[in-house]
Amino acid sequence: MNTQLLSCRDLGKTFHVGKRLWAKKALRAVDNVSLTLEKGHVLAAVGESGCGKTTLARLLLGLLKPTHGRIYIEGRDIASINRRDIARRIQLIFQDPYSSLNPRKTIYSIIALPLIVHHIGTPGERRSRVEEIMELVGLPRNLLNCYPLQLSGGQRQRVAIGRAIISKPDVLICDEPTSALDVSVQAQILNLLLDLRTELNLAYLFISHNLAVVEHIADQVAVMYLGRIVESAQTEDIFETPKHPYTKTLLASALTPDPELGLPEIDLNSTIPDPLDPPSGCSFHPRCPAALPKCQIEKPRPRSDDGKILECHLYDQ
């Protein structure tokens, strides 16, 4: 049985940046990305700020048109699907619950909005559905007529999750959904997402900088650098036996709760390259402590083996 729900092949997005038309430079925010998200699975995209994670999410949501490549929902090209139908099947949970909710709308109006937009149910049926969703995400019904400003950060994010799942989507794209919350509340939201995944058979594309969160929630991890996926594998493989030097650096940079260990020491040979003028060859070679001479002139080709992706000259042999 085919379990592929959302996939993309050689997906790319190039922006042209500059004040003058004749002096614009090409910025490859997403560069030949291929990935697959299966039903009921969690795929995490990790990497430094500016590596293309959010642009990739906007492409998969249909909010941006790709420069090249294809996106598929259960084998069907997303370009042939109505925008409304895409919105019903793929929903987004934003990073900041304080700015993603309309402060002038009640909690009922916010959660019920997708039902209204898609003309689902009568007013009475919508109210019953909203009450069911509020119970599912752990919100008391007495908040129905409240406004976002009357809620805590964790409650607001539960409202955002309720709004996202009320139209029964197949995929949730979570863009740093816990980074604006207190640590104790983060754990509650993550556990809620895991429970909803099981109960509703949801698939997640989870974007995060927090590697501890990724290790807890993800089945597979895709590591992005300057718009490309440089390594992708099962979560346990990424955390136990990382291959790419950039993946190793990311894991080494994670903070530890043990105060005796101090701050991690990162062995990088250079600052982050300018994405408007990327390095020749392997884009990571100016910072890589294990770079080979060929890394400066030749781009590594992605190696795919048993669901794993690796883009590094160190493993050419």
Q: Where are the domains of the chain?
A: 4-315
**What letter represents residue 12's amino acid?**
G
Task: Give pTM, 2 decimals.
Answer: 0.90
The pLDDT score that the predictor gives to residue 269 is 67
Spell out the SS3 assignment of 77-138: EHHHCCHHHHHHHEEEECCCCCCCCCCCCCHHHHHHHHHHHCCCCCHHHHHHHHHHHHHHCC
CA distance 221 to 42: 9
The pLDDT score that the predictor gives to residue 189 is 92
Nearest to 280 by CA among 299, 305, 303: 299
Which residue ranges of the chain lie beneath pLDDT 70? 1-2, 21, 255-267, 269-270, 317
The pLDDT score that the predictor gives to residue 1 is 47
Nearest to 31 by CA among 73, 66, 79, 75: 66
Residue 212 parent element (H or E): helix 211-217
* Residue 283 main-chain phi, psi, to 5 deg: -65, -15
The pLDDT score that the predictor gives to residue 262 is 58
The pLDDT score that the predictor gives to residue 263 is 54
The pLDDT score that the predictor gives to residue 299 is 92
Contacts of 80 by beta carbon, 8 Å cutoff, 6+ apart:
none
| CATH match for 4-315 among 3.40.50.300, 3.30.43.10, 2.130.10.10, 1.20.120.1200 | 3.40.50.300
The pLDDT score that the predictor gives to residue 270 is 65
